Amino acid sequence: MRILIIDDDEQIRILLRQVMEWAGHEVIEAADGREGMHQQRKQEADLVITDLIMPEQEGLETITLLKREYPLIKIIAISGGGRIGPDAYLPAAQELGADRVFSKPFDVRELATTVKELLANG
């Protein structure tokens, strides 16, 4: 399966790539929402893991766009907390169409299990 990882933090992308590749997936990366949409249009991914706070394009906007253009796509939103507290963005992300939400720091094994479940159900 193809996984699109959108996060402005390169090390997070490296980590997630590692986890996903070990799970046997193909990984594409983007540093923000705009690039993420671009990548998705080029080489459709089955599942997107996106951060919520990024420059250029907000995660919430990206989620809305993705779900509109690719209704079947699975989305996992990750929030780093920050100004409003860890959980402020996540309910909004879920409302906008994220299938699962994680709050940083999260357990990578849990994330891997979730990806597996979502792809199996799709």
Partner 1 sequence: MAEIHALVVDNSPVIRKIVSYVLEAEGCIVQVAEDGLEALDCIACHRPDIIFSDLIMPKIDGEKLSYIIRNTPELKDIFLVILSGVALEDNDNTLRLGADVCIAKGPAATMSMHIKAALGKYLTNQRGGHSVEGLEGLYSREVTRELLVSKKHQEIVLARMNEGVVELNHAGRIVMANSAAVELFALPEAQVLGQSLAQLMPLSAEERITEWLAQVAAPVCLLPLVFGYDDPILLENRQITCNLVPVAEDDTFFIVGILQDVSRRKALEQRQRQLEKELQRIQKLDAMSLMASGIAHDFNNLLTIINGNVEMARYVCRDDKVNSLLSESAKALDLTVQLIRQFTTFSDNFLPQKSQVRLRPLIDEVLQRDLAGRPSISYHLSTGEEELAITLDPALVQQVFVNLTKNAVDAINGAGRIKVTIDRVDGGEEAARTGQLIANGDFVRVAFQDSGPGIDPALLDQIFDPYFSTKQKGAQKGMGLGLTIVHAIVKKHGGFVWIDTPKGGGCTVYLYFPVQGGVVTDPRFFEGKGRGRQVLVMDDEEMMRLINKKMFEYYGCKVTTATNGEEAVALYREKLESGDGFDLVLLDLWVNEGMGGLEAARRIIALNPEATMVAISGDGSCEAMQRYAEYNFVAALAKPFPIDAIEDIVNRFL
| Residue 105 binding partner 1, by CB under 8 A | yes
Q: Which of 21, 26, 91, 117 binds partner 1 (CB under 8 A)?
A: 91
Structure tokens at 88: 């402020």
Residue 64 backbone class (left: φ over 0; alpha: ψ -120 to 50; beta: rest): alpha
Whose Cβ is closer to partner 1: residue 91's or residue 122's?
91
What's the CA gap between 119 and 97, in Å, rounded?
16
Sign of the alpha-carbon torsion through 92, 93, 98, 102: negative
| Residue 81 binding partner 1, by CB under 8 A | yes
| Residue 11 binding partner 1, by CB under 8 A | yes
Which residues are near partner 1 by CB under 8 A? 9, 11-12, 15-16, 18-19, 22, 53, 56-58, 60-61, 64-65, 68, 80-86, 88-89, 91-92, 95-96, 103-109
